[in-house]
Structure 1
Amino acid sequence: MSIYRVAVLEDNDALREELVYLLISEGYHIESFGEAAAFMLAHTQEAYDILILDLGLPDVDGIDLARELSARREETGIIMLTARGELSDRIDGLSAGADTYLTKPFEYDELLAHISALLRRICMKRAQGVWQIDAARQQLEAPDTGAVFELTASEVVLLVELAKKHPSHVSRAELIRALGEDFMLYDERRLEKLISRLRTKLLESFNASPIKAIRGKGYIFKESIELKYGKL
Structure 2
Amino acid sequence: MLVVEDDSDLREMVAETLVDEGYHVDQAPDGQRGLHLGLTRPYDVLVIDRRLPALDGLDLITRLRARAVAARALILTALGTIDDRVAGLDAGADDYLVKPFDLDELSARIRALCRRTADATEALRIGGGVLDLGLRDAVLPDGSRVPLSAREFELLRVLAARPTAVHSRAMLRSLVFDEAAAASIVDTYVYYLRRKLGRKVVRTVHGLGYRMGAL
TM-score bin, normalised by smaller chain: 0.5 to 0.7
Is the alpha carbon distance of 1:15 and 1:127 closer, same or farther for their aligned partners in structure 2, counting shifts above 3 Å? same
Structure showing greater radius of gyration is: 1
Is the alpha carbon distance of 1:166 and 1:32 closer, same or farther for their aligned partners in structure 2, counting shifts above 3 Å? farther
Give SS of 1:69's match. helix
Q: Which amino acid aligns with 2:75?
A: M
Q: Which amino acid aligns with 2:8?
A: D
State the partner residue of 2:98: 103
Is the alpha carbon distance of 1:132 and 1:164 closer, same or farther for their aligned partners in structure 2, counting shifts above 3 Å? closer
Alpha-carbon distance in 2 for matches of 1:88, 1:127 = 31
Which runs of no fewer than 5 residues in structure 2 stay unpaired?
Answer: 124-129, 161-215
Give SS of 1:78's match. strand
Q: CA deviation at 1:86?
A: 2.0
Q: Quick check: 2:11–2:27 contact (8 Å CA) kept in 1?
A: yes
Q: CA deviation at 1:84?
A: 1.0
Give SS of 1:53's match. strand
Q: Quick check: 1:74–1:229 contact (8 Å CA) kept in 2?
A: no
Is the alpha carbon distance of 1:231 and 1:91 closer, same or farther for their aligned partners in structure 2, counting shifts above 3 Å? closer
Equivalent residues, number? 150
State the partner residue of 1:123: 118
State the partner residue of 2:56: 61
| TM-score, normalised via structure 2 length | 0.60
Is the alpha carbon distance of 1:70 and 1:131 closer, same or farther for their aligned partners in structure 2, counting shifts above 3 Å? closer
Is the alpha carbon distance of 1:9 and 1:94 closer, same or farther for their aligned partners in structure 2, counting shifts above 3 Å? same
| Alpha-carbon RMSD | 2.9
Cα displacement string for residues 87-132 of structure 1 (whole angstroms, at most 9, x for unaligned residues): 211111111111111111001111111111111111112599x995
| 1:26 and 2:1 correspond | no
Q: Quick check: 2:35–2:60 contact (8 Å CA) kept in 1?
A: no
Alpha-carbon distance in 2 for matches of 1:35, 1:71 = 19
Alpha-carbon distance in 1 for matches of 2:17, 2:36 = 24
Alpha-carbon distance in 1 for matches of 2:74, 2:86 = 14
Alpha-carbon distance in 2 for matches of 1:40, 1:78 = 13
Residue 230 (structure 1) aligned to one of 134, 158, 174:
158
Alpha-carbon distance in 2 for matches of 1:22, 1:69 = 25
Deviating above 4 A after TM superposition, structure 1's stretches of 4 or more consecutive aligned residues are: 226-229
Alpha-carbon distance in 2 for matches of 1:25, 1:69 = 27
Percent identical among aligned pairs is 35
Alpha-carbon distance in 1 for matches of 2:66, 2:43 = 16
